[in-house]
Structure 1
């Protein structure tokens, strides 16, 4: 039986959009949050946190004229490298500010090897442990990475402010103080509402997050003044909670942000993936993969998911990035 996330249909998707706007309007002052990020040791906050022209909405070609200054290269080994530590199997962890996340590490953890990290962002009105219970991304990374499931505050990600961006900064720093990780290879993977946040994270933390992947999630609230990075969007044709057209729009937004040309290539025929390979540097390519597989015997809610072959493919895509 496939693992899936309970969907509530197009009505909930509409309510989700409305609720996201309400949540964003209530987010905390960005100046205070930016200072918190600096205090966390994660460096200054970084892309897209300056004054934003609200007229640059999704699809506005003028957004491509906004200039992004990449952050300095990230270290390749964290503070905890060399210190022995037991394998992490669902270890509950907490940042200095009290935010929680849950860690699955490689079996036979080697404290002298700097591992990449995949940070998993759950859908709305759930939490990291519940997400892990059915998605189980740690089973798809070939024992080659840490997989981390953070908990959103009040089970909703901050799609416009900086509170969860600061949480991401603190999570990476806290994880690196406990385990040997490669901070230059931290990836974000969001599903559904968590995909909206993954877009926000990529926009505002490009260069600190190596790349993002979004499964069956739509664009959030960011204008197109974003940093550039490799982006993978996968979406199921028959998803009635998050429509495939919304995933294509999100991918098109990244084509604009990444300064890609109109040239495309079929990068993976099996996974039905289209790649925009010619994009501005530093930055990354943009890939959209449409999962057309359909089983009429499945309940409709099961179509709102990232199927297992696409979980494997997402890790392979992360791992292959230079």
Structure 2
């Protein structure tokens, strides 16, 4: 099913960041044939599923847009992603802050987990992703070379699994405090994919390092020639971004280490989450927008 779907949508990822845009079947659709913002429902693996869709401001059905899937953490739901309710001040971290950071210029997708976690029993969450992507690509104008997933905590762990099992559908992934490799993702060393790993040094940092190293290997980066630094725990030092050198063209690996714990909206010099001060959205948007 996966191969036929991806072939239908033309989602093979090009070998460089300069690959031409590949419009989806939904380009040009208007009126009742097109999707609109709001809660969408579908059936995947025989189960009723839902997600929230946010279209860009002034959506143009003739323009292919980036799509960013955003996977919430365990014990949460899609409303946490949409409203940013785990972060203060109110409404400061909608869609992981990317609605604001992107200037509302991308298609944002907030999937809703079954039983508030991405257990992926019998591949049901993989097929949920397939069904969402097919529905969105069929009803909206999507640049199929510009599909991304990002996730926090358990959603970050599932994003890693998607980067393994659905790598051909993604241009890149962003993992926020997602721990170490899961679901055999450490076995996908031959299939490169753009990757950004953000992790707190007081949040089981070895898991973040292991995840980072997995993508460094997959993308053929020169780990030995890249100087990697991390803030000292409890030092209030600013976050440190490492951009690995020597990676396969078009498949960068970014690693952001911050002085903190299990936070989705960390900020320099402070403790906890703050949607107005966090550096995460700007860094993530910079990573995504490099793929032109």
Unaligned runs of 5+ in 2: 15-19, 85-92, 230-237, 260-267
Superposed displacement of residue 272, structure 1: 1.5
What is the SS of the residue equivalent to 1:199? helix
Deviation at 1:191, TM superposition (A): 0.6
| Pairwise CA distance, 1:80 | 1.8
Tell me: CA distance 1:209–1:223, structure 2 relative to 1, closer, same or farther (3 Å).
closer
Q: What's the Cα RMSD here? A: 3.1
Q: Give, in whole Å, the separation in 2 of the partners of 1:250 and 1:234.
A: 10
Query: Does residue 83 of structure 2 align to residue 133 of structure 1?
Result: yes
Gap change, CA 1:185 and 1:243, over 3 Å in 2: same
- The alignment of Structure 1 onto Structure 2 pairs a total of residues equal to 250
Does the 8 Å contact 1:235/1:291 carry over to 2?
yes
- Taking a change above 3 Å as real, the CA distance of residues 149 and 303 of structure 1, as seen in their structure-2 partners, is same
After alignment, is 70-79 or 109-118 more displaced? 70-79
For structure 1, which runs of at least 5 residues remain unmatched after alignment?
A: 1-34, 45-69
Matches within 5 A, 1:34-113: 35=1, 37=2, 41-43=5-7, 71=12, 76-85=22-31, 88-89=36-37, 91-97=38-44, 98-113=48-63
RCO comparison, higher one (Cα < 8 Å, 6+): 1
Q: TM-score, normalised by structure 1?
A: 0.68
Q: Distance in 1 between matches of 2:276 and 2:257?
A: 11
Report the alpha carbon displacement of residue 186 of structure 1 after superposing the two structures with TM.
0.5
- Please give the alpha-carbon distance, in whole angstroms, between the structure 1 residues aligned to 2:94 and 2:69: 12
Which residue of 1 is the match for residue 187 of structure 2? 225
| Deviation readout 1:167-214 (Å, 9 max, x if unpaired) | 111111101122111111100011111000011111122221110001
Closer, same or farther: CA 199–161 of 1 in aligned 2, 3 Å: farther
Map Cα deviations across residues 91-140 of structure 1 (whole Å, 9 max, x no partner): 11123433211111111111111110110000001111222211413222
**Aligned partner (choices 118, 129, 132) of residue 157 of structure 1:** 118
- C-alpha contact (below 8 Å) 2:73/2:154 kept by paired residues: yes
Query: Is contact 1:87–1:107 with CA below 8 Å preserved after alignment?
Result: no
**Using a 3 Å threshold, how does the CA distance of structure 1 residues 84 and 94 change in structure 2: closer, same or farther?**
same
Which whole-Å deviations, capped at 9, do the CAs of 1:203-235 have from their partners, x for residues lacking one? 122221110001111122324221210110112
Give the match for residue 256 of structure 2.
Answer: 289
| Structure-to-structure mapping, 1:1-322, within 5 angstroms | 35=1, 37=2, 41-43=5-7, 71=12, 76-85=22-31, 88-89=36-37, 91-97=38-44, 98-134=48-84, 135-137=93-95, 138-158=99-119, 162-219=123-180, 220-226=182-188, 227-238=191-202, 242-262=203-223, 263-264=225-226, 272-280=240-248, 284-292=251-259, 293-295=268-270, 298=271, 302=272, 308-322=278-292
Query: How does the TM-score come out when normalised to structure 2?
Result: 0.75
- Give me the whole-angstrom Cα distance separating, in 1, the residues matched to 2:216 and 2:3: 30
User: Partner of 1:9 in structure 2?
Assistant: none
